[in-house]
């Protein structure tokens, strides 16, 4: 009877299926989109690869928005309908990482272990109750602190704030310029109190750092543009447009739903109407649309219209907050998975 019950649980839910001996660091949030989970995952992957190059690192997400089912290995040449946005972006920006998508995280870990991965960063795993990583980090945007938000549909929360107590650390993203240590301490106290976090759970603070626009064709030698059209299919397009506007004149914005396929005809029409050939995309949108636009009729249309596509790079920069900065955060998370 016990054997039958065990096999039934494994078949239906996978709870008892054996897992590989692999280091697991998870990232999650309680908000609906736009918290910076994927940039956080990229920072963690790059930092881990630099600190522990002897390990082989993997990345795993469910592949939100894809049409494929089950496990799928993702490369920079994968199609977005097979991989989803986030995994495709990681494959582009972290070429040494083994990237995969699987709704069943346990099965995904087994697949990555077969690819010789000894450590895996799991994206969007807070709500995945069947698996708990050794170290879990929750991202919280500065401009949407969970103590001021409500559950959907009244607010932007998709989960109860109390679920954050499963985390080993919190990372506040998008900390504004000009804030001080006193501001960070006050914000940390509020977040800790609202989620009933223990004092042992550190809260780190980060800012977005935007680089100069990069041409879609990395081999192109073209000057930085002046007048541009901003094109985005992300959850928080305001941050993107504001960042571009700091160094360029934004003459128009095209905003589409998060994860949406960007209609090339609309972009071409906007460029013509606004008398500019320069269209700026987010890195995530660029990764999603590259395979669609880089060949055949779309590529010919772009060339014929004289369109120059640009990408706005962004990365996460840690601040020296009350619980430490980048070095302290990395050492703390490494210790949780048995690394020095």
Q: Is 50 exceeded by the pLDDT of residue 6? A: no
pLDDT per position as a tens digit, 95-142: 999 999 999 999 999 999 999 999 999 999 998 878 899 999 999 999
Distance of CA 126 to the CA centre of its chain: 14
Confidence of residue 1 (pLDDT cuts 50, 70, 90): very low
Residues 113 and 177 reside in one and the same domain: yes
| Nearest C-alpha neighbor of 290 from the set 15, 91, 129, 10 | 91
Residue 2: which pLDDT band, with cuts at 50, 70 and 90? Answer: very low
**Is 329 a domain residue?**
yes
Q: Are residues 67 and 134 in the same domain?
A: yes
What is the rounded CA–CA span in Å between residue 194 and residue 144?
A: 13
Q: Are residues 48 and 169 in the same domain?
A: yes
* Per-residue model confidence as pLDDT tens digits over 317-329: 999 999 999 999 9
The per-residue pLDDT for range 15-55, each reduced to its tens digit, is 545 678 999 999 999 999 889 999 999 999 999 999 999 99
Q: Is residue 236 very low, low, confident or very high in pLDDT (cuts 50, 70, 90)? A: confident
pLDDT band at 201 (very low <50, low <70, confident <90, very high): very high
Please name which of 36, 325, 321, 324 lies closest in space to residue 183, comparing C-alpha atoms: 321
Q: Tell me the pLDDT tens digit for each residue of 206-232.
A: 999 999 999 999 888 999 999 999 999
Q: Establish if 176 belongs to a structural domain.
A: yes
Domain that holds residue 260: 214-312
Which pLDDT tens digit goes with each residue over 74-105?
Answer: 999 999 889 989 999 999 999 999 999 999 99
Whether residues 76 and 98 share a domain: the answer is yes
Same structural domain, 115 and 174: yes
Please report where in the chains the tokens 């606004």 appear, as a residue. 274
Residues 264, 124, single domain; the answer is no
For residue 50, the model assigns a pLDDT of 97
Judgement on whether residues 170 and 254 belong to the same structural domain of the protein: no
pLDDT band at 5 (very low <50, low <70, confident <90, very high): low
The count of domains in the chain is 2
Domain assignment of residue 228, yes or no: yes
pLDDT tens, residue by residue, 256-311: 999 899 999 999 999 999 999 999 999 999 999 998 998 899 999 999 999 999 99
Q: Where are the alpha helices (DSSP H) in 213-325?
A: 237-245, 264-273, 283-293, 296-304
- 77 and 225 part of one domain: no
- Give pLDDT, residue 163: 96
- Are both 292 and 225 inside the same structural domain? yes
**3-state secondary structure string across 56-87:** CEEEEECCCCCCCCCCEEECCCCCHHHHCHHH
Mean pLDDT of the chain: 93
Beta partners for residue 307, in sequence order: none
**3-class DSSP state of 340:** coil
């Amino acid at each position: 009877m016990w054997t039958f019950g065990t096999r039934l649980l494994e078949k239906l839910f996978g709870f008892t299926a054996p897992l590989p001996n692999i280091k697991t660091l998870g990232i999650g949030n309680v908000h609906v989109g736009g918290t910076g989970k994927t940039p956080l995952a990229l920072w963690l992957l790059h930092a881990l690869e630099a600190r522990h190059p002897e390990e082989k690192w993997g990345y795993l997400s469910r592949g939100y928005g894809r049409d494929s089912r089950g496990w799928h290995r993702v490369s920079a040449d994968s199609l977005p309908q097979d991989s989803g946005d986030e995994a495709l972006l990681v494959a582009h920006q972290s070429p040494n990482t083994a990237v995969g998508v699987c709704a069943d995280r346990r099965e995904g870990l087994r697949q990555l272990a077969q690819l010789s991965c000894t450590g895996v960063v799991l994206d969007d795993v807070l709500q995945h109750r069947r698996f708990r990583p050794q170290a879990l980090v929750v991202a919280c945007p500065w401009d949407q602190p969970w103590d001021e938000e409500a559950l959907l549909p009244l607010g932007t929360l998709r989960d109860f704030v109390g679920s954050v107590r499963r985390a080993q650390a919190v990372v506040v993203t998008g900390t504004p310029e000009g804030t001080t240590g006193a501001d960070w301490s006050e914000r940390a106290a509020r977040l800790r109190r609202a989620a009933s976090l223990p004092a042992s759970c550190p809260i780190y603070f980060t800012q977005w750092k935007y680089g100069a626009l990069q041409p879609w064709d990395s081999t192109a030698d073209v000057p930085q543009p002046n007048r541009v059209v901003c094109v985005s299919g992300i959850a928080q397009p305001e941050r993107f447009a504001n960042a571009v506007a700091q160094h360029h004149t934004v003459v128009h914005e095209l905003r589409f739903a998060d994860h949406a396929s960007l209609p090339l005809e609309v972009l071409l029409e906007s460029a013509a109407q606004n008398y500019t050939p320069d269209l700026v995309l987010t890195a995530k949108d660029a990764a999603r649309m590259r395979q669609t636009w880089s060949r055949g009729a779309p590529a010919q249309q772009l060339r014929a219209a004289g369109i120059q596509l640009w990408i706005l790079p962004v990365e996460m920069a840690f601040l020296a907050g009350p619980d430490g900065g980048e070095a302290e955060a990395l050492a703390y998370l490494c210790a949780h998975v048995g690394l020095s």
